[in-house]
């Protein structure tokens, strides 16, 4: 693999980690790629991806969306290549190595990419994620093996 298999703005199948095992691959799930970086070269460490959680579970009607949570109806979802309405939670993010353990469809055609956000939305989502991390860090659930671990 010489080029990155997916890029910022892609919705991609990944083994999104669960709260109970934050540094272990979880069940297969579509996540939104906020940032992807690194070189996909045999002599370099694997690239990494900052993935936001998505779910097709609807947000409870009449309940306000918290900061960092976006809900998309069916028509909006189709703009992103999604077949049904979904919720994106930028407060629940995973920092993952781009490896087959975390992205099981890397070796398949399309590398597991299931849609893409338009550039303007990519910029908006990234700004929202950066704002959450910078100004509301206490709200951000950090999953995945690449986050720096606190020293004891």
CB 133 within 8 A of CB 95: no
Q: Tens digit of pLDDT for each residue in 111-143?
A: 999 999 999 999 999 999 999 999 999 999 999
* Greatest CA separation for the chain: 52
The band of 151, judged by pLDDT with boundaries at 50, 70 and 90, is: low
**Within 13 Å and on the Cβ side, how many CA atoms surround 64?**
2
Q: What one-character-per-residue DSSP string does 91-128 give?
A: EEEEEEE-STTT-TTTTSGGGGEEEE--HHHHHHHHHH
The band of 101, judged by pLDDT with boundaries at 50, 70 and 90, is: very high
Rounded Cα distance between 148 and 89, Å, is 21
Q: Give 61-85 as a 3 state SS string.
A: CCCCCCCCEEEECHHHHHHCCCCCC
For the chain, which domains are there?
10-143 (2.30.30.110)
Query: What was the pLDDT predicted at 4?
Result: 85
**From residue 77, how far is each of 14, 87, 107, 118 by CA, in Å?**
19, 9, 26, 12
CB 90 within 8 A of CB 135: no
pTM, two decimals, is 0.91
Q: Is the model's pLDDT at 110 over the cut of 60?
A: yes
Q: Is the model's pLDDT at 40 over the cut of 70?
A: no
Query: What was the pLDDT predicted at 45?
Result: 78
Label residue 16 exposed, middle or buried (CB < 10 Å: 0-12, 13-18, 19+).
buried
């Amino acid at each position: 693999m010489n080029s990155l298999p997916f890029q910022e703005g892609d919705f991609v199948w990944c083994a999104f980690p669960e709260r109970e095992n934050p540094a272990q691959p979880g069940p297969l799930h579509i996540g939104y790629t906020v940032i992807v970086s690194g070189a996909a070269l045999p002599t370099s460490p694997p690239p990494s991806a900052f993935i936001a959680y998505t779910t097709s579970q609807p947000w409870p009607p009449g309940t306000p969306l918290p900061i960092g949570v976006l809900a998309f109806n069916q028509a909006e979802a189709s703009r992103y290549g999604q077949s049904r309405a979904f919720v994106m939670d930028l407060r629940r993010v995973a920092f993952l190595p781009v490896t087959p353990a975390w992205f099981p469809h890397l070796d398949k055609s399309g590398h597991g990419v299931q849609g893409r956000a338009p550039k303007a939305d990519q910029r908006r989502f990234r700004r929202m994620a950066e704002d959450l991390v910078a100004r509301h860090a206490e709200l951000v659930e950090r999953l995945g093996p690449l986050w720096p671990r606190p020293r004891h």
